[in-house]
Amino acid sequence: MTNTFRAALYIDGEWREGGDGGTFAVVDPADGSTIADFPIATSADCLAAVEAAAAAQEGWAATPPRVRSELLRAAYDLLTEEVELFAEIMVRENGKSWSDAMGEANYAKEFFRWFAEEAVRIPGDYRLSPAGDKRIVVDRQPIGVSLLITPWNFPAAMATRKLAPALAAGCAVILKPARETPLTAAYMVEVLERVGVPRGVVGLVTPVPTGPLVAEMLAHPAVRKLSFTGSTEVGRELLHACADTVVSASMELGGNAPVIVLPGADLDTTVPEALLAKMRNGGSACTAANRFYVHSSLHEEFVRRMAEALSSVSVGSGLDRLNQLGALVSVRERDKVAALVDSAVSEGATVVTGGHSSETGAFYDATLLTGVRHGSEINATEIFGPVTAVVAYDEVDDAIRMANDTEFGLMAYVFGEEREAMAVARRLESGMVAVNRGVVSDPAAPFGGVKQSGLGREGASEGILEFLEEKYIALTA
């Protein structure tokens, strides 16, 4: 176990303290101890990072794609060598279980490998005008300096899903991680430094107060892109800030994923996959199954099997690699989950298993609720914790109507006989639908939401397009 973490800003190729010497504590949520004091970036620090990126932009854009590709591949290789350290940093500052941390470390580094391959395949286009008088050349160029803002729940993968395509496209970047998890970000930036990404191309800042200093960075004329992952509430605010200087914005926002268990579902497949959909990352996932709509013919057996599995989940620090469920990111988040369970119970739900907070550390039991009312607080809110909330239904049309009855549209799950499940999947208002599966994330798949869950797609060949813009060059025929 390491006890030394890189805790510094990275500006213009140098690791630095904050301009006024201020710091904030990074806390291990499993025991409340402070594991590092991370510098607060001042306004001057943030603007210095933007200026450094602006100075590096032209050179990075002109770097041959093969060179950019090889740097990303080297980052993938280094993270593969150091995957246990990578996972351990996440266990310490985020609280997740060892298997979730290893799962994230492996998923996160895949974005470097995937976009190393995409860097040398940036598409362009050529066409003759209808009148035959000119040749239309459509070039794709890097959009420019990009600000990348990430949440705490997947501190590595949400960052590499932005860093890798931006760098592959030829954009200089500034990463602003969540305050709860800056150490994972600093480690990944250090990896990029170690493999030789040139000075100024990557910056790392942790501004406080966040909103005003992020707005200052967005107002800088060099910043042409914001790629944000986080809550819909903050995303909305940032879209307003982007409007002032017409900055292009990609938004990966909140979700409220429904799970529809159809009458034809095979519970032998459905239950293990539903557990993955709910419990991956301890339920702190934007794709986490949030609302279970279970056909009344299967309800009793589904609940029995889920309760049996959830009641045997071992809860505790991720440093003990056998624990299946880690801590929430903070006591505050744990208390939010507990309050949602209390509100469900006050609205008539029954706790079948779980329902307790730990005495010390930010742990909450794997919990199952039945008799949850559609439209109740727990059903309408992103729970972000290990709570399975079940609603029984009789008519499939009602289940689809309830599933779509939300401002979110990120992820949905359908379990059932495949043809019927596919027909339901087509009717769901969701950027992504899993049919008879509990996990969908893949670097080769376009990840993103509709409605108030976001704008744009990350990963896949679509992901790099968010950091490129078309330039039309007219030539004579």
Q: Least separation, in Å, of the C-beta of 382 and ligand NAD?
A: 5
Q: Least separation, in Å, of the C-beta of 59 and ligand NAD?
A: 28
Contact between 382 and ligand NAD (CB under 6 A)?
Answer: yes
Q: How many contiguous H segments (helices) and E segments (strands) does the chain have?
A: 15, 20
Q: Least separation, in Å, of the C-beta of 227 and ligand NAD?
A: 11
Tell me the three state secondary structure of residue 421: helix
Which position among 145, 149, 174, 289 is part of the footprint of ligand NAD (CB under 6 A)?
A: 149
Catalytic residue, chosen from 88, 180, 252, 273, is: 252
Specify whether 242 is catalytic.
Answer: no
> Which of the ranges 41-49, 83-91, 144-152, 463-471 carries the binding residues for ligand NAD, by CB under 6 A?
144-152
What are 331's two structure tokens?
A: 């006591």
Please report, as residue ranges, which positions from 278 to 297 form the binding site for ligand NAD (by CB under 6 A): 286
Can you tell me the distance from the alpha carbon of 13 to that of 197, in angstroms, rounded to the nearest whole number? 9
Catalytic residue, chosen from 46, 171, 242, 286, is: 286
Contact between 424 and ligand NAD (CB under 6 A)?
Answer: no
Tell me the three state secondary structure of residue 106: helix
Specify whether 286 is catalytic.
Answer: yes
Contact between 365 and ligand NAD (CB under 6 A)?
Answer: no
Place of tokens 């150091």: 82
> Which of the ranges 1-9, 223-231, 301-309, 416-424 carries the binding residues for ligand NAD, by CB under 6 A?
223-231
Phi, psi of 391 (to 5 degrees): -120, 130
Can you tell me the distance from the alpha carbon of 56 to that of 201, in angstroms, rounded to the nearest whole number? 6
Asked if residue 465 lies in contact with residue 121, where contact means CB atoms within 8 angstroms, the answer is: no
Contact between 385 and ligand NAD (CB under 6 A)?
Answer: no
> Which of the ranges 8-16, 230-238, 294-302, 343-351 carries the binding residues for ligand NAD, by CB under 6 A?
230-238
Size of the site for ligand NAD (CB under 6 A): 29
Asked if residue 185 lies in contact with residue 175, where contact means CB atoms within 8 angstroms, the answer is: yes
> Which of the ranges 149-157, 184-192, 347-355, 387-395 carries the binding residues for ligand NAD, by CB under 6 A?
149-157
Binding mask 434-453 for ligand NAD (x = CB under 6 A): ---------------x----
Q: Which is nearer to ligand NAD, 11 or 411 (CB)?
A: 411
Asked if residue 457 lies in contact with residue 446, where contact means CB atoms within 8 angstroms, the answer is: yes
Q: Where are the alpha helices (DSSP H) in 141-292?
A: 157-169, 182-195, 210-219, 232-244, 267-279
Q: Least separation, in Å, of the C-beta of 242 and ligand NAD?
A: 11
Residue 395 burial (CB count, 10 A): 10
> In Å, how far from its chain's centre is CA 251?
11
> Which of the ranges 80-88, 130-138, 153-161, 185-193 carries the binding residues for ligand NAD, by CB under 6 A?
153-161
Of 335, 382, 383, 386, nearest to 29 by C-alpha is 335
Can you tell me the distance from the alpha carbon of 246 to that of 258, in angstroms, rounded to the nearest whole number? 34
Can you tell me the distance from the alpha carbon of 256 to that of 377, in angstroms, rounded to the nearest whole number? 12
Can you tell me the distance from the alpha carbon of 119 to that of 396, in angstroms, rounded to the nearest whole number? 44
Of 44, 45, 59, nearest to 15 by C-alpha is 45
Please report, as residue ranges, which positions from 179 to 208 form the binding site for ligand NAD (by CB under 6 A): 179
Which position among 142, 230, 416, 456 is part of the footprint of ligand NAD (CB under 6 A)?
A: 230
Q: Least separation, in Å, of the C-beta of 256 and ligand NAD?
A: 9
| Active-site residue set | 252, 286
Q: Which residues bind ligand NAD (CB under 6 A)?
A: 149-154, 158, 176-179, 210-211, 214, 229-231, 234, 237-238, 252-255, 286, 382, 410, 449, 454
